[in-house]
């Protein structure tokens, strides 16, 4: 991986942690996440005529990606309803590669080297520590853990679909723009069903956070999908997980969340394990 790709993926990791913190602190998180998706689509629409369009074979990948990204947002909202940023974020990001490995072993019959097994030996205790002592009350509640793990599952899924889909499309820009438009339509339908006529009025109170989160999210996503076409997906995904560190730092210095030594240690274990597994 070249230094240019390395630096821009680090930037994407920071932006990803940034938009998650904006959504977390918002008084109306559902409106913030919907605005995020709508802002992405509003930026994408005028850019469509100026990018290479995806190949016809990529449209199925685009549809799957849009569904997975929307499901990820829905579960993320619930995870933040039940846990702190420095608690939920490491679980959602760090568990994803572990889930991929477990599915590969049990379903695909894959085998792994001692390096990957060592990575699992770091991630698993990190996740266990986060669930046992991740909050002031000790054990993370069943709902918080369930939604965090569900979010991780969708993260693992859309990472694979995005990487393959962008290559099938032969255009990272075209894939990104059409995907965020599809994601916005799905999220609008979801929130509309949940809130009905109150959907649009509720957006007015969250427009600042929604615009900020949408711009950061689109930039982070575009960078990563482009990097998927320039370097091995596993390496890009590994570097992207440095967002766990950024999220923890934001939680401490911006959100003023109380982060104990236990939580710092578990976060460090997850980060090291993720990087080791991916590389």
Residue 138: per-residue pLDDT: 53
Residue 74: per-residue pLDDT: 92
Residue 235: per-residue pLDDT: 66
CB of 273 within 8 A of CB of 122?
yes
| Measured distance between the N- and C-terminal CA atoms of the chain, rounded to whole angstroms | 11
Q: Per-residue pLDDT for 65 more than 90?
A: yes
Q: Select the more confidently predicted residue: 233 or 20.
A: 20
Residue 242: per-residue pLDDT: 73
The candidate with the shortest Cα–Cα distance to 223, out of 150, 277, 173, 178, is 173
Q: Per-residue pLDDT for 54 more than 90?
A: yes
Which residues are CB-contacts of 4 (< 8 A; sequence separation ≥ 6)?
Answer: none
Residue 279: per-residue pLDDT: 61
Cα separation of 228 and 56, whole Å? Answer: 20
Q: Per-residue pLDDT for 13 more than 60?
A: yes
Cα separation of 69 and 180, whole Å? Answer: 9
Angle, vertex CA 245, rays to CA 184 and CA 67, nearest 5 = 20
């Amino acid at each position: 991986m070249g230094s240019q790709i390395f630096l821009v993926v680090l930037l994407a990791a920071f932006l990803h942690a940034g938009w998650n913190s904006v959504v977390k602190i918002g008084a109306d998180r559902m409106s913030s996440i919907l605005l995020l998706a709508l802002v992405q689509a509003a930026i994408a629409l005028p850019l469509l005529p100026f990018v290479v369009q995806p190949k016809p074979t990529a449209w199925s990948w685009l549809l799957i990606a849009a569904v997975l990204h929307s499901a990820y947002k829905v579960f993320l909202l619930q995870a933040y309803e039940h846990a702190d940023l420095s608690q939920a974020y490491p679980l959602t990001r760090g568990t994803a590669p572990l889930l991929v490995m477990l599915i590969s072993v049990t379903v695909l019959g894959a085998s792994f080297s001692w390096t990957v097994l060592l990575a699992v030996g770091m991630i698993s205790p990190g996740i266990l520590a986060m669930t046992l002592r991740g909050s002031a009350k000790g054990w993370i509640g069943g709902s918080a853990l369930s939604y965090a793990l569900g979010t991780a599952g969708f993260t693992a899924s859309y990472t694979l679909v995005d990487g393959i889909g962008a290559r099938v499309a032969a255009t990272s820009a075209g894939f990104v723009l059409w995907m965020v438009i599809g994601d916005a339509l799905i999220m609008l339908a979801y929130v509309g069903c949940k809130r009905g006529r109150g959907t649009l009025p509720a957006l007015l109170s969250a427009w600042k956070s929604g615009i900020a989160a949408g711009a950061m999210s689109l930039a982070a996503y575009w960078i990563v999908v482009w990097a998927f076409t320039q370097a091995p997906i596993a390496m890009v995904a590994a570097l992207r997980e440095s967002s766990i560190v950024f999220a923890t730092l934001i939680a401490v210095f911006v959100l003023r969340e109380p982060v104990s030594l236990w939580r710092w240690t578990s976060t460090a274990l997850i980060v090291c394990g993720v990087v080791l597994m991916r590389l």
